[in-house]
Amino acid sequence: MFIIKNRKIFFIFSGLLVGISVLFFVMWGLQFGIDFTGGSLLEVEYRDARPSVEELQGRVESLEFGAVLTQPSGEKGVLIRMRDLSEEEHQQVLQALEPLENMQLSPAFLELRFDSIGPTIGDELRRKSIIALVLVIVMILLFITWSFRKVSRPVASWKYGLIAILALAHDVIIPTGLFSFLGQFFHVEVGTLFVTALLTILGFSVHDTIVVFDRIRENITKFGSHKPFEEVVGKSLNEVKGRSIATSFALFLVLFFLFLFGESSTTFFSLTLLVGVVVGTYSSVFLASPLIVTWQKFSSRSK
């Protein structure tokens, strides 16, 4: 009952996190990667010392292919972002990156990746990503409403679905706010992997929330009107919170080590999932069920 009795503390904490995240997003938005904006991303790593970023920027700009953004990557690598390039233009950029004094037969650097996406494809990916997120949320709402259709007292089944959606919004807004901050100060971009991570968070979080709600449903059927609804919810949370937290902690450890030791291309994907697991577990245990109790009490007073 500790969680239910002190629910206002958890509501305030969640409200602060969501408010800060929304503020970050409104002020800075997200730094979209080439998946959504179109363009080219080239990453190379020099075998010996890397020329200065300013020098490399000047060499590529001399090709007059448009705006160029050059950033260091590790000690010897460099990331170059520009408009979408043809294969011929791609090869010209690689030649420009070759040190002028290099007369060796082997190149002075290793090309780690090259991605080029046209603006039309980028717009389509962004549109489909938004559609995917909306469809997932709508289907979750319908599924929970249908699953809890036989439990209409003291809380209507559709309210369980709506509370779950509010918890999911909490779980998506906070990572989005984090990446607004990272994009503003560390130039971290979001792409299709970010959307994939958000969809994964939605699936994980709603599963955890449904486990809690299902135990509430079982206890309502078991105790009926013999116990107050608030007490039934508190008892249900005590029965499942240990398993939920233990399961989430095991997943957290896996993602944490993936974040530390995984490939650089999956670093921010792992970070998104890490944050999502933490806030998803928090919302399932400390937010969703207390919201159900608060809504029930408000409905009772208004009658």
Out of 22-26, 81-85, 261-265, give the one with best mean pLDDT: 22-26
Q: What dotted CATH number matches 2-34+121-302?
A: 1.20.1640.10
The phi, psi pair for 112, rounded to 5°, reads: -85, -40
Cα dihedral sign, 183-186-191-197: negative
Question: What pLDDT shows up at residue 221?
Answer: 80
Question: What pLDDT shows up at residue 64?
Answer: 87
Mean pLDDT of the chain: 87
pLDDT in tens, 116-138: 887 666 678 778 888 888 888 88
pLDDT in tens, 271-288: 999 999 999 999 999 999
Q: Give start-end residues of each CATH 3.30.70.3400 domain in the chain.
A: 39-117
Question: What pLDDT shows up at residue 33?
Answer: 80
Question: What pLDDT shows up at residue 26?
Answer: 97
Residue 151 pLDDT > 70: no
**81 close to 40: Cβ distance less than 8 angstroms:** yes
Confidence of residue 153 (pLDDT cuts 50, 70, 90): low
Q: pTM (2 decimals)? A: 0.81
**Token pair listed for 206:** 């709603």
Question: What pLDDT shows up at residue 72?
Answer: 87
pLDDT in tens, 190-230: 888 898 899 899 888 888 888 888 888 888 888 766 788 88
33 versus 237: the higher-pLDDT residue is 237
pLDDT in tens, 60-119: 999 988 888 888 888 889 989 888 888 999 999 998 998 765 555 567 889 999 988 876
Question: What pLDDT shows up at residue 288?
Answer: 92
Cα dihedral sign, 11-185-180-175: negative
Question: What pLDDT shows up at residue 294?
Answer: 92
pLDDT in tens, 238-255: 999 898 899 999 999 999
Q: Classify domain 39-117 at the CATH topology level.
A: Alpha-Beta Plaits (3.30.70)
Question: What pLDDT shows up at residue 101?
Answer: 58
Q: Give start-end residues of each CATH 1.20.1640.10 domain in the chain.
A: 2-34+121-302
Question: What pLDDT shows up at residue 102?
Answer: 54
SS (H, E, C) 5-20: HCHHHHHHHHHHHHHH
Write the CB contacts of 119 (distance below 8 Å, at least 6 apart in sequence).
37, 38, 39, 84
CA distances from 130 to 32, 36, 291 (A): 13, 11, 27
